[in-house]
Structure 1
Amino acid sequence: MANILSMTGYGKGEHNDGKRVITAEIKTINNRYSDINIKTPRHLRFFEDNIRKILKNGVQRGRIDVYINIDYISESDTVIVPNLVLARQYKDAIDEIRTELNISSSVSLDTIIKFQDVLAAKEDTQDEEELRICVEEAMQNAVRNLIQMRLVEGVQLESDIRSSMDKILCLIDSIAGNSKTIVQDYKTKFEARIKELLGSSHELDENRLYNEIVIYADKSDINEEIVRFRSHMGQLDSALAAGGPIGRKLDFIIQEANREINTIGSKIGNLDIIQMVIEIKNLLEKVREQIQNIE
């Protein structure tokens, strides 16, 4: 039996190798597919494929936002590299503007180095393997914490869904019980209405009355719908017991259950049953909303 996981969660992980501290944060919300968005410092972007693989091993579905940050403990891990080509282009552009606008002041070094990417902090390539290990350890820690939070919420979602299921099954049992007297109630009311309209002096045509009752009984028979509805609730129970990434399966089951209860409501004119149908539909909608958060 696998665990049921919510698609909503947060996990944070760190790894310190004595030279640097990598921090990984993961935030997830519900989504029909797996939508991964990664934000890292520029010189860590070549690790994004590894980050995606780690995520896919632990998270099946949802919108996943990942934030990676690096703090250097030792200066020896980084080198500051000037982008001379870019710096020269910035200077030439400023000189062109200065000449065109007849500005006498000259461009300063302070101005040039403030432009984006003129100076870049790069990891020492000799330590690339150490950096990879550090990033992956931080990610693994973050994923573990994320899954733990999603698991806790998954347990609560299952509990809420099962509570709604218990209420739904009690209501469907009541509908099944009340439906047994519907035909007889209809016959009694139909006879009384005819006598009211025609008076007691007119004899009832038993054959026509019988045919009318048979037609009504056939139209109002909801036994098949109740059997199928209970079957869907059984499938819902089995899927919850099995666990795992079952969100889409649960959503399909609830759609089918809604179809059956709508048919029951359209067949029956009894006010008590209609009220119970409405209550079941409200509970099914609550369950459907909860299922949207299940992986």
Structure 2
Amino acid sequence: MVVSMTGFGRSKRSNDSFSVTVEVKTVNHRFSEFNIRMPRQFNKIEDKIKKKLSASIHRGRVEVFITVEGEGLTDRKVLVDWNLLDQYVDSIERIKEKYGLDHGLSLQDLLMSEEIILFEETELGNEDLERIVLEAIEEAALSVKEMREVEGKALENDIVTQLKSLQTIVGKLTEMAPEVVSLYRDRLTKRIHEFVENGIDEARILTEVAIFADKADINEELTRLNSHIEQFRSILTLLEPIGRKLDFLLQEMNREVNTIGSKANDSKIAKEVVEMKSILEKMKEQVQNIQ
């Protein structure tokens, strides 16, 4: 089954106290990679979040954004360094006494000292909130999966069209292959006619043609190409990640096409080889986005 690596999903869950929004975006990537941005209080359930996502997203770069709104998400405290405060007040009084200063120490003066009075904010854990987050993750991941499957269907339709075009050219080359040897025999005979006055050594011509036919024989490559095309179609139906398999198979197909181009010394075949390379390049672009 063809599944694209490009997708987006969004989910919003809430209760009386909290509102959780999850957005999941996926793009193509060689492996499976997760990048999760969320409040620090959810770090302890990061593995659970990845497990939820991995259930339906097997390959690609996954970016997750989790935002939480509501009351009681943080615990705020005022911390006073009493020992430092005692020293601070004592020092102020001694300075006033030593230098005859009249200005007194005010509360505002103390509040301006960040070293003495600290405001601490702690993010609270909450089992109900964590449950809502995981539910939102699961829902967003399902939306991503559905979108990736729709995109995958479009990719599959295009790839199948390209495969048909490729197989049509392979059929044409199969018909043209014997003509290459025949044309070479005619050219060789003509050239020998031009340079030999006392007749033609038919055995020599047959030997030269046989050597050329062996070097220029592309039937083996065409047979393998047909096999690869059928295997490609079969892989498209598998209910598992298939992107890497298709990518490897395309490399093999491209290798066969290159061999055909180097072996067949014929302008017509060379033209078809160029067309096949163009088709394979288009298929490669599509396959690189398949899970």
Same fold, judged at TM 0.5 (above)? yes
Amino acid at match of 2:73: T
Give the match for residue 58 of structure 1.
56
Give the match for residue 266 of structure 1.
262
1:5·1:244 contact (CA, 8 Å) conserved in 2?
Answer: no
Give the match for residue 100 of structure 2.
none
| Aligned mates of 2:276, 2:110 — CA distance in 1 | 74
Give the match for residue 92 of structure 1.
none
1:14·1:137 contact (CA, 8 Å) conserved in 2?
Answer: no
The 3-state SS of whatever aligns with 1:204 is: coil
Q: 1:24 to 1:212 in 2, by over 3 A?
A: same
Amino acid at match of 2:245: K
| Aligned mates of 1:49, 1:27 — CA distance in 2 | 18
Give the match for residue 102 of structure 1.
none
| Aligned mates of 1:231, 1:107 — CA distance in 2 | 85
Q: Please list the CA deviations of residues 144-199 of structure 1 after superposition, one character each: whole Å capped at 9, or x if unmatched.
A: 1111111111001111111110100001111111112111111111111222234x
Q: For structure 2, which runs of at least 5 residues remain unmatched after alignment?
A: 85-107
The 3-state SS of whatever aligns with 1:21 is: strand
Tell me the percent identity.
38
The 3-state SS of whatever aligns with 2:55 is: helix
Amino acid at match of 2:3: L
Which structure is larger by alpha-carbon Rg, 1 or 2?
2
Q: 1:79 to 1:257 in 2, by over 3 A?
A: closer
| Aligned mates of 2:2, 2:113 — CA distance in 1 | 56
Give the match for residue 79 of structure 2.
84
Give the match for residue 120 of structure 1.
121
Structure 1 length as normaliser, TM-score?
A: 0.84
Give the match for residue 25 of structure 2.
27
Q: 1:38 to 1:17 in 2, by over 3 A?
A: same
The 3-state SS of whatever aligns with 1:180 is: helix
The 3-state SS of whatever aligns with 1:18 is: coil
Answering whether residue 279 of structure 2 is matched by residue 278 of structure 1, we say: no
Q: For structure 1, which runs of at least 5 residues remain unmatched after alignment?
A: 90-105
**How many angstroms does 1:56 deviate by?**
1.0
Give the match for residue 165 of structure 1.
163
Task: Give the CA RMSD over aligned residues.
Answer: 2.4
| Aligned mates of 2:267, 2:134 — CA distance in 1 | 62
Give the match for residue 90 of structure 2.
none
| Aligned mates of 1:220, 1:120 — CA distance in 2 | 78
Give the match for residue 197 of structure 1.
195
